[in-house]
Amino acid sequence: MDSALAPLPRAQTWSSAKIALLPGAEGIGVFAREAISAGEVLLALAHVFVAHAERHTIQLDAHLHQAGTGEIDDFLNHSCAPNTALDFERLELRAVRPIAAGEELSFNYLSSEWDMAAPFTCVCGAPHCHRLIRGFRHLNAEQQAALAPVASAYLRRRLAELRPLRADPA
């Protein structure tokens, strides 16, 4: 049985041998050492939770955030057109398309964060780049709807709560 499939809770972050920390355009990032297939599990995060958002946390619920583990996952940079996505239930990062050797791995922070602790200006270069990355709550309705399929259950719940308000003509 692969260590990535160990029973929960997971005490240590597992990372694929196909990825490594390397210096990139935006500082240290996580890069593919060899070709990766769509759907491959690349990281399985240690279960370490905190109540408040910080720089390296990943939001799971209103007052529940996956903590930065001090490991490779803390260096995963944002992209508005990412090549990985998080399975929020299993806390596993998976490739969403084939990734070439040498390509940087990225994750869309807007798929997890309602209101970011450390907003920043994105330079990912994607055609639909959001530029100012402040959190899901700051996106317009169209942008939120587009992200919903990859967003956490928490963000999708917040979005469902917003819908009746938006539909109200008053």
Closer to Zn ion at the Cβ: 64 or 81?
A: 81
Sole binder of Zn ion in the list 122, 151, 155, 159 (CB under 5 A): 122
Nearest residue (CB) to Zn ion, 60 versus 122 = 122
| Count of residues that bind Zn ion according to CB under 5 A | 4
Shortest separation between residue 79's beta carbon and Zn ion, angstroms:
6
Report d(CA 83, CA 142) in Å as an integer: 22
| C-alpha dihedral, 158 to 151 to 126 to 58, nearest 10° | 90
Residues with Cβ within 8 Å of residue 41, at least 6 apart in sequence:
4, 16, 92, 93, 94
What minimum distance in Å lies between the beta carbon of 133 and Zn ion?
7
User: Residue 98: CA atoms inside 13 Å, Cβ hemisphere, count?
Assistant: 3
When asked if residue 129 is in the footprint of Zn ion (CB under 5 A), the reply is yes
Of the candidate spans 8-16, 23-31, 120-128, 162-170, the one that interacts with Zn ion by CB under 5 A turns out to be 120-128
The footprint of Zn ion on residues 26-85 (CB under 5 A) is 80
